[in-house]
A and B are shown apart, each in its own frame.
Chain A
Amino acid sequence: MRLVGNLFAYVWSGRDNNCNRYVLARVLKDDRHVVIDPGHVTTPALREPGLQALRDEMESDGIDPDAIGLVLLTHCHPDHSEAASVIREETGALVAIHEAEAGIYSQFGGKVDLFLGEGNLDLGVESPVQLTVFHSPGHSPGHTTLYWPREKVLIAGDLIFYRSTGRVDLPGGNPEALRDSIARLSRLEIEYVLCGHPYGHSGIIEGGDEVRRNFEFLRTYLRF
């Protein structure tokens, strides 16, 4: 589903756990795409096809799934990152993740071509998509979120959900860091929060007012 510009959102519709997948289509050389959090290859409990579903959804939007040039991972958990290794192998795409996630990611068999950290990320040669990368720990130590100022889009990974936050009980989770990360991002001008999962909601929080209401809810709940 095209969300804004060349950003496509693929909300996970299976019954098992998997993440929402996002694609910046045809932004790189030779019309190659950037995939953000490709999710599971196959979901662990119900064996639902994750990567194949993404490929099918991309194709139905006219996006060639074999032309992926870059995979950005918000964090290393397999429900976000597992398919990255297969995509890397099959398409030659580069994989980027924060250095603090790289150790655990490699224990899952992942290979990291690029380290992702705080700063600017330009995707494309002529009139590139200009993103800002935020290191936003809490759910995991090297969790990152991607902000697209021009379109006021925040790709939030597992930091923020609709009326909820990412869990902090997994290894490396940290509630104080999570609160600080959310507080920091709440100051951005945002029209779309693209969450990592469709938990009781599509995970696409749309509209400045709705985004503010969500941050207000979290502010009360987290006291930042």
Chain B
Amino acid sequence: MSGKIKSTLELAMEKAAKLPRLTKEEIRQQQEKEYGPRGRAIAGGFLSGDLAERDLDVELSRYQGEQGEIVRSAFLASMCQAIDIEDTEATARVFEGIEVLVRDRQLEEASHRLSGILGDYQEQRRREFAKTEEAESAALRELGVSGSAIRLNLEQSEGWRAKRSALLEEFRPKLDEIKRELSDHLRRVICSG
């Protein structure tokens, strides 16, 4: 009965010491949970224009070591996801963002291939849009509606929606392939750097 009376802190520390230690994988997962969203938020800020290109490097450089790797990986993954076949401006901005971290031959090749696909898509979309517009304008005239006061809202047209959807389906596999390759390449670069 001559034992020392332990303080609450000592008791808590003893309890904590008995808890199983986190594995490396668990620590990594916890860090992913904490730092992944930061990388995605930086990507979101850059893509929305809230974060300028000159500030991007500063934001990403705040994180070093394993945390930095997580932030940069999440950033690059978000950027790859943001590649949009219908939005060439957004896609150009994706590459501007990626180039802040990675500039190599593979990226240049991916950018070149993507430009080709986007160009093909835009051209086909333009042709299909014009054809739909012509057909629907003719139908409108046939109904008896014409004049300079009227303009078709093709975005609402069932016919155009179906054609656009079919076109996207046609191009989606090519786009997904490039996204996947680019994503894998960027992950390798970040993990090896």
Tell me if A114 counts as interface (CB < 8 A to partner B). yes
Residue ID in chain B nearest A111 by CB atoms: B156
Interface segment among B3-11, B69-77, B126-134, B140-148: the answer is: B140-148
Chain A min CB distance to B66 (Å): 46
Q: Does A122 contact B143, Cβ atoms closer than 8 Å?
A: no
Complex CA distance for A106 and B96, rounded to whole angstroms: 35
Tell me if A124 counts as interface (CB < 8 A to partner B). yes
Tell me if A117 counts as interface (CB < 8 A to partner B). yes
Residue ID in chain A nearest B152 by CB atoms: A114
Chain A min CB distance to B154 (Å): 9
Q: Does A115 contact B150, Cβ atoms closer than 8 Å?
A: yes
Tell me if A116 counts as interface (CB < 8 A to partner B). yes
Tell me if A123 counts as interface (CB < 8 A to partner B). yes
Complex CA distance for A124 and B157, rounded to whole angstroms: 22
What are the residues of chain B within 8 A of A132 when measuring CB–CB? 149
Q: Which of A126-177 contact B (CB under 8 A)?
A: 128, 131-133
Complex CA distance for A134 and B122, rounded to whole angstroms: 35
Tell me if A182 counts as interface (CB < 8 A to partner B). no
Q: Does A133 contact B144, Cβ atoms closer than 8 Å?
A: no
Tell me if A27 counts as interface (CB < 8 A to partner B). yes
Chain A min CB distance to B4 (Å): 71
Tell me if A125 counts as interface (CB < 8 A to partner B). yes
Q: Does B145 contact A120, Cβ atoms closer than 8 Å?
A: no
Complex CA distance for A114 and B149, rounded to whole angstroms: 10
Q: Does A119 contact B148, Cβ atoms closer than 8 Å?
A: yes
Q: Does B147 contact A120, Cβ atoms closer than 8 Å?
A: yes
Tell me if A193 counts as interface (CB < 8 A to partner B). no
Tell me if B18 counts as interface (CB < 8 A to partner A). no
Q: Does A94 contact B149, Cβ atoms closer than 8 Å?
A: no
Contact among B143, B152, B156 for A32, CB-based, below 8 A: B143
Tell me if B151 counts as interface (CB < 8 A to partner A). yes
Chain B min CB distance to A87 (Å): 15
Chain B min CB distance to A102 (Å): 7
Q: Does A113 contact B152, Cβ atoms closer than 8 Å?
A: yes
What are the residues of chain B within 8 A of A111 when measuring CB–CB? 156
What are the residues of chain B within 8 A of A70 when measuring CB–CB? 143, 145
Tell me if A56 counts as interface (CB < 8 A to partner B). no
Tell me if B153 counts as interface (CB < 8 A to partner A). yes
Q: Does A69 contact B152, Cβ atoms closer than 8 Å?
A: no
Q: Does A102 contact B153, Cβ atoms closer than 8 Å?
A: yes
What are the residues of chain A within 8 A of B145 when measuring CB–CB? 28, 69-70, 94, 114, 121-123
Tell me if A96 counts as interface (CB < 8 A to partner B). yes
Contact among A29, A96, A131 for B142, CB-based, below 8 A: A29
What are the residues of chain B within 8 A of A112 when measuring CB–CB? 153, 156
What are the residues of chain A within 8 A of B157 when measuring CB–CB? 113
Q: Does A133 contact B149, Cβ atoms closer than 8 Å?
A: yes
Complex CA distance for A120 and B146, rounded to whole angstroms: 8
Complex CA distance for A70 and B152, rounded to whole angstroms: 13
Q: Which of A18-38 contact B (CB under 8 A)?
A: 27-29, 32
What are the residues of chain B within 8 A of A122 when measuring CB–CB? 144-147
Complex CA distance for A178 and B46, rounded to whole angstroms: 42
| Residue among B146, B149, B152 having the largest count of chain A Cβ atoms under 10 Å | B149
Complex CA distance for A69 and B140, rounded to whole angstroms: 10
Q: Does A128 contact B144, Cβ atoms closer than 8 Å?
A: yes
Given A114-B150, A115-B150, A28-B143 contact (CB < 8 Å): yes
- Chosen A-B contacts, 7 in total, with CB atoms closer than 8 Å, are A69-B143, A102-B153, A111-B156, A114-B153, A115-B153, A121-B147, A125-B144
Interface residues, chain B, CB within 8 Å of chain A? Answer: 140, 142-153, 156-157
- Cβ-closest 5 pairs across A and B: A119-B148, A119-B149, A133-B149, A28-B144, A120-B147
